[in-house]
Chain A
Amino acid sequence: MPDVVIRKRATIVEDILHEGGPPAAVPLKRGAVLSVIRNPFAGRYVEDIAGFMDDLTPLGLDMARTLLAALGGDPARIQGYGKGAIVGAGGELEHGALWHVPGGYAMREILGDAKAIVPSAKKVGGPGTRLDVPITHINASYVRSHFDAMEVGITDAPRADEILLALVMTTGARVHARVGGLKAGDIKGEDGLR
């Protein structure tokens, strides 16, 4: 399969102190790491693309490590995650789907024993397209306080022959979470759901 050619990387960290209510004792951190890579399948239909997932695995691990470092470096502090991709105009949505396995694998590898499915979003779009990357708790998808999303994008990406890949992590619940549901303290942690 083709080489992974990176044009640009970006790391974004949000420190959320409050959202109109009482300031959090420890501000919530939401972080994203983005890579803009060349889409080796742009401009034509290629049947056999699955092998590119293996090529993306080292990049995924590198991105997950970069993001963890930007959020303080302690895997035990990461409570939520998500992933996403924006495929440039010359590509297919299916090319974005190549990110599911290497992106998810990378975060689980870095975080240890994360049990929940990594939520994801993908789309085809031009430079400057914004993507809302969904976020859920790393061990139990139904934890209501951790349902969240982070908007990401890069002004000049993706170009038609590029893919923008994203990983997102958070250090906790929404800053003023108070709508009930399963609590992080009540997780059984067996099935990745509750």
Chain B
Amino acid sequence: MNATIRKIVTVVEETRQEGGRDVSPPTRRAAAIAVIANPFAGRYEDDLTPLMTIGEELGRLLAERAVAALGIDGAKVESYGKAAAVGEDGELEHAAAILHPKLGAPFRKVLTKGAALIPSSKKRGGLGTVLDIPLGHKDAAFVRSHFDGMEVQINDAPRAGEIMVAVAVTDSGRPLARVGGLKTSEIKGEDGLR
């Protein structure tokens, strides 16, 4: 492991009612978040390759944790997302190095598929920073029922020299989705969009 991990947090949410109506079956989503040391905190480093390698490791580890927390096969995951929060002594580019070059491939491998772009967000912040992880359908980004987001927060992270790295997965779209658009039954799943 190249990453020095201080903490791993998993969160599972199950929504059984929305707007006073039963959601049957309940919608479920899970996030796994690692709090790691930022090797480049407090200094400018041109070559961010070590962070890309960390992203690759965490792509697998966090995907496995999140899927296990949801208690389903990876292949049953319907939507996904990723996000990172860099502590105050780091750069936004550090989050980008973890999230974008290499995290996606091992994440998709855990899910067996994932033709769509993995939606992402990033920010810099102090302890207790709230991350909104964007969610989109894993095989067709235009599936409207699965546009969503999951909020995660760890009260003691990220410290100034840390980075919070998060992935989220679901077994469903929004509860009571009813604003039309492309449906899951209409997915072609070839171009990642429709």
Q: In the complex, which residue of chain A has the Cβ closest to the Cβ of B150?
A: A155
Shortest distance between the CB of B3 and any CB in chain A (Å): 11
Interface hit among B13-21, B73-81, B98-106, B114-122: B13-21
Within 8 A of A (CB), among B138-182: 151, 153-155
For A, the interface residue count at a CB cutoff of 8 angstroms equals: 22
A-chain residues with CB within 8 Å of residue B15 when the two chains form the complex: 7-8
Bound form: Cα–Cα A19–B13 in Å: 27
Q: In the complex, which residue of chain B has the Cβ closest to the Cβ of A150?
A: B155
Contact check, B155 vs A14: say whether CB atoms are below 8 A apart.
no
A-chain residues with CB within 8 Å of residue B155 when the two chains form the complex: 130, 151
For B, the interface residue count at a CB cutoff of 8 angstroms equals: 19
Bound form: Cα–Cα A76–B172 in Å: 35
Q: In the complex, which residue of chain A has the Cβ closest to the Cβ of B155?
A: A151
Bound form: Cα–Cα A100–B11 in Å: 24
Within 8 A of B (CB), among A1-44: 5-20
Bound form: Cα–Cα A15–B157 in Å: 13
A-chain residues with CB within 8 Å of residue B8 when the two chains form the complex: 14-15, 17
Contact check, A11 vs B6: say whether CB atoms are below 8 A apart.
no
Q: In the complex, which residue of chain A has the Cβ closest to the Cβ of B13?
A: A10
Contact check, B16 vs A6: say whether CB atoms are below 8 A apart.
yes
A-chain residues with CB within 8 Å of residue B11 when the two chains form the complex: 10-12
Shortest distance between the CB of B166 and any CB in chain A (Å): 13
Contact check, A16 vs B16: say whether CB atoms are below 8 A apart.
no
Contact check, B14 vs A12: say whether CB atoms are below 8 A apart.
no
A-chain residues with CB within 8 Å of residue B187 when the two chains form the complex: none
Q: Known interface pairs A17-B7, A151-B155, A155-B151. Does A7 touch B12 (Cβ–Cβ under 8 Å)? A: no
Shortest distance between the CB of B63 and any CB in chain A (Å): 16
